Amino acid sequence: MGLVRNLFVKGADDFSLGSGGQKRRYEVLRRYAVFSAAFVSITPLIIMTLLGYYQYEKAFRAELMGPISHLASSTKQSLEYFLQERRSALRMIVGEKSFEELADSATLQHTFSNLRRSFGGFIDLGLIDGSGKQRSYVGPYSLAGKSYQEQAWFHEVRLRGVHVSKVFLGHRGFPHFVIAVKHENPDGTWHVLRSTIDSEMLEKRILAEGLHRASDAFLIDREGLLQSRSRRYGEILQKITLPVPPPSSRADVMEVSDTDGTPLIMGWAFIGDSPFIFVLVKPSGAALESWNTLRTELLVFTLISVVLILAVIWWGSTYMVRRINEADHKRAAVLHKVEYTNRMATIGRLAAGVAHEINNPLAIINEKAGLLQDIVSADDTSPQRDKFLGLAGSIVSAVSRASRVTHRLLGFARHMDVRMEPIALEMLVAEVLGFLEREASHRNIKVNIQASNDLPTINSDRGQLQQVFLNILNNAIAAVGDGGKIDITLKLWGQDKVAVVVVDDGFGIEAVDLPKIFEPFFTTKKDGGTGLGLSITYGIVEKLGGTITAESEPGDWTRFTVVLPIERSGGLGSQG
């Protein structure tokens, strides 16, 4: 409770943020209390539930899915061996016999007879040159001279060196598939040895691996077309009604449902270097129903327990925060009032002294400059009349500007009227830069301004915003070295605000000094600054309904972000 309460004690001086800041702080307090109590209460329950779930699932899978996965894996190895055996036989033939020998029909016939006698399942054998033309052929079809140049399998052989096709019906309407291998000759030419194999050999391999132990076992391609006969899902080249398994490098198992809603256990394995997927299907029956019931009961129990625990924790935390709110709100309000009074007293004394010491000399200068204007205006014969009038006008303008500055300094300690008008921020910042361009140019400081295309016009006080950006840019120019850079970015901030971000690559602000830079009389300037610029800037921005924040990386950069409302709401108010 003490730790939670300290979240408010630590930030009591931040209540000037208003009711929104207070609500966020109390929300953090409540969330912290809810999270802490919920973590301690719910974590053991969830851990025990997960352990029980894991143990039950592990036992179920070992009992029901283990044999199916093992059978799919062994069948995968058998089919891969079958295909590898025939690919190797074709590679051996094409490697040992030259193109000329294989192009001879008698030699090819003899080779084909040996293949059928040794392995079985071979239907035909053909030699294809690099241009895709069938140079010699042994088999039941008249394929001599046929061109395969435009067929996809021929391009695959040319690129990969081997091709295993899907099962297709062919000219005579019985299922078979093709294996083709490529051989490169020393002179850079190449040719292909292609053979058709009876797909019934694949079905015999599946039966030999123990089909009687499952409900159904068959081959499909990656589109779900049957490559062998199935007991329940149709004939060869029909599309199965089960989902096509996701790619996997090993045998895997998952739960699926048939079209009539029957729960099934489906094991599968992708046959390497081929388009085939071995699929083994078995009804899950009572075992799956029992597991689903147990799993549902376990999850429902855990969910109900968690909901009850959270309800109690939420009620208790809300009650606790409400009581803390009643006590801490009063205490924080008193502390804020004391702090505000002390701050205003200090700045009020400063403002009064500045006004007395500066405004009186300024009034005298203004009167003398006006008298000088009157005297010079009355003398039409003086050759320097226009020059003197211009100089006197410059003095009057400078005095007026200095008076406005002292007037704004007084506004930091007391309410000042704000004159609202439409302002284009990009133009206003450019005007302020006009006052500083001589020093920036002399020190070769590069200033970049980037404004969003959708930047709106805001309603605010032009003179006070000029003072804000003049102070910030003055500090930025003072912070960067000769040849430095200042980036100014203007952009939308949410839906009803705009932001002006000023980033310089100067010496930065130490972390220990960063929280103090908006305090009156605090300065980091080595030449002894007054420490009033940023404090006055902070007061102006807050009075205009905005916020100003500072971030810095010592020795690298400093960033000031001024966020201003597009339309001022809730009255003009005053600083504080």
Confidence tier at 196 by pLDDT (50, 70, 90) = very high
Instruction: Identify the pLDDT of residue 564.
Output: 93
Distance CA(404)–CA(394), nearest Å, equals 15
Instruction: Identify the pLDDT of residue 454.
Output: 86
| Contact of 479 with 554, CB cutoff 8 Å | no
Q: Which of helix, strand or coil describes residue 393? A: helix
Strand order in the sheet with 216-220: 216-220, 277-283, 263-270, 252-257
Q: What is the mean pLDDT of the chain?
A: 82
Amino acid found at 162: V
As a whole number, mean pLDDT of residues 531-550 equals 85
Nearest to 270 by CA among 297, 250, 287, 253: 250
Confidence tier at 575 by pLDDT (50, 70, 90) = very low
Whether the per-residue pLDDT at 462 is higher than 70: the answer is yes
Six token digits for residue 399: 């005095």
Confidence tier at 277 by pLDDT (50, 70, 90) = very high
As a whole number, mean pLDDT of residues 415-439 equals 80
Q: Which one has a higher pLDDT value, 406 or 417?
A: 406
Q: Which CA distances in Å does 571 have to 461, 462, 567?
A: 14, 18, 11
Whether the per-residue pLDDT at 275 is higher than 70: the answer is yes
Strands (E), 223-262: 252-257
Distance CA(41)–CA(473), nearest Å, equals 54
Six token digits for residue 429: 């910042």
Instruction: Identify the pLDDT of residue 8.
Output: 38
Whether the per-residue pLDDT at 286 is higher than 60: the answer is no
Cβ burial of 572 (10 Å; 0-12, 13-18, 19+) is middle
The partner residues of 7 in beta bridges, in order of sequence, read: none
Instruction: Identify the pLDDT of residue 31.
Output: 82
| Contact of 17 with 297, CB cutoff 8 Å | no
Instruction: Identify the pLDDT of residue 126.
Output: 94
Cβ burial of 533 (10 Å; 0-12, 13-18, 19+) is buried
Nearest to 521 by CA among 346, 340, 345: 346
Which residue's structure tokens are 């021929």?
Answer: 154
Distance CA(137)–CA(143), nearest Å, equals 7
Flag the least confident range among 6-10, 500-504, 552-556. Answer: 6-10
Q: Which CA distances in Å does 282 have to 232, 235, 255, 270, 429?
A: 11, 19, 10, 18, 76
CB contact set of 180 (below 8 Å; sequence gap of 6+): 90, 128, 153, 154, 157, 162, 163, 192, 193, 194, 195
Q: What is the CATH number of domain 97-202?
A: 3.30.450.20
Specify the pTM: 0.44
| Contact of 530 with 540, CB cutoff 8 Å | no
Whether the per-residue pLDDT at 123 is higher than 80: the answer is yes
Whether the per-residue pLDDT at 555 is higher than 60: the answer is yes
pLDDT in tens, 294-303: 778 888 888 8
The architecture in CATH of the region 421-565 reads: 2-Layer Sandwich (3.30)
Q: What residue ranges do the domains of the chain occupy?
A: 97-202, 352-411, 421-565
- At 483, give phi and psi (nearest 5°): 80, 10
The runs of H, that is alpha helices, within 161-283 are 200-208
Q: Which CA distances in Å does 394 have to 398, 400, 545?
A: 6, 10, 34
